[in-house]
Structure 1
């Protein structure tokens, strides 16, 4: 019997689907959370025989299980570990492990894409157009390339997984892959996906009003309590609050923290590692242990949520050559204006700050991080300009 242990997210379930296309009824797929994998693998290794073939994808095994798997392979058993998380790179020292973070062309890998290619190379699976498309959709979603490429179909595929059971999702995907050359959604799936999109918009409106900010270690963090739409919430709030290094989403029920960043110079897998977690540079997770609870929950509890930037402005827009107006609760209004040399200066209560900033983003980051400032509406902006036009001309 073939046994596959894999994650219960889209990339992990993708591995399960690919395995069932390749092996059919000969494979038993075990879907696991991050926290349950090593318990399940340890139990399996107690009873494994040489008649069993073991595959593990998209989740990393601990040192104890790695030793057990290595002993099993050296005794003549078969095991193959395939992953794409850099926190698992150390397992490449074993002959049965293959961890690849990115392809030669710079594209990020996913467990599904690596497993699919492995099965093809081993002549265990034949390539098809529908499989190619499905695997690429999963890879783009898991690496967040779908957002850069505006590949909404990849996002919808993930949405569908979380709207129905894994068993139902798996059955639907297998049926599509067997019947069609092109991977697409049927009418029922399209209808429920539209309903889910509306639900997401309502959830985002709520979470925008709840985010707070605070420094944690060397980073400024946006903290929110959220238990669904984590990737969408993290990505949206990260873009709307670009002055923050990353977004931390707390799930008290599962006692986990999901971390997301939109910045290339921030690696949230390093943050997660401090709290017994791991993942990708832009998307990781960790346990809500005692240290994490103190930093992300207890110390954050007394803080007030950030006030949102005005959304529909025409005149008071970021990087406007006429200047940009922010307001704050502690220091009143801040007027950011460009200087002749391209740098930006900040005025507060009629006085210029001594320090200027090389870019608008740096100036905005200063007033948002230090004073939780927000972009005011056009009406307030116009009134400010009318009241201060003479003084501003002399700045």
Structure 2
């Protein structure tokens, strides 16, 4: 069958919604809605942030349905047959997977469903790339810890190179450290009316689009691995209690507003009045959830066995703030710290850029580090500091 129009002809195809925007501009608008949520500009726990995230997800699903109904991508064509304006729409699956992975409200079951939808979107994205032979099959990270670390280091190296190439190839030269959503936006037209001349040549975006798809493929492997780990945790999480637990010993007093309270008025006790500077508990207290919603206090009253007298309370945020003030919070660490490249590995990566000032500086740092270590080993014999097991 002969195709009469291009699937992404911006003068013909419009999104059938409340806004008659062309499909590329509608996708760009969804990305602009999503970008401040993903890059941390908006507070993640606010209801308004989740509402904006949900709007972006709804628009992305609409874009995906339009692409499917129009048959933009086919198993019977090669990558050379795909127009440069169509390549950017291969990123819809990745964008949707990232957006779904950000949904964190509604409890464990809702979170699990969001992660499963994220996996489906990421898998769909990889399937499109495999159809056009842009990536080999089986993009998941290996199970062996050593091989997994090597794969992540290799992906980190490719990601750095691809970001620099994309930044150079894209019109406007965005920052190489930008969020990939910013790169996708660089391939799409603005949702504002264009004022450029009709005779002005449009920039070639085919090369940066193909580079971007390779970058997103590497990022997808890590995202699928993170989703799998969180789903494993959720699968082994304890079931929530089915009913409230009543403690007959609790003496409750009724507040003027008609609610029952077990603790004193908020703010009567400060964290320093409950925990001494040396970490000794000065008086018993109950740690509440970080939110101060009344429903959480009511759940605490009903679900927790406690002493017969009223206890002061401290939220988890107040407790962590007090521990941070006392210097008991360790920064960094965890899985992200374990997977991150070491200082020596980063220096070796930088040294590969022969002829650049950064490579020379990295080489000098590596040399000084090796000299310092050699001097230390010469001055300190192996086992010299072990005084615990001497006879």
- Structure 1 length normalisation: TM-score? 0.27
Which one has a larger percent strand, Structure 1 or Structure 2?
A: 1
Which one has a larger percent helix, Structure 1 or Structure 2?
A: 2
The one of the two structures with greater contact order (alpha-carbon pairs below 8 A, sep at least 6) is 2
- Structure 2 length normalisation: TM-score? 0.27
Q: Which has the larger radius of gyration?
A: 2
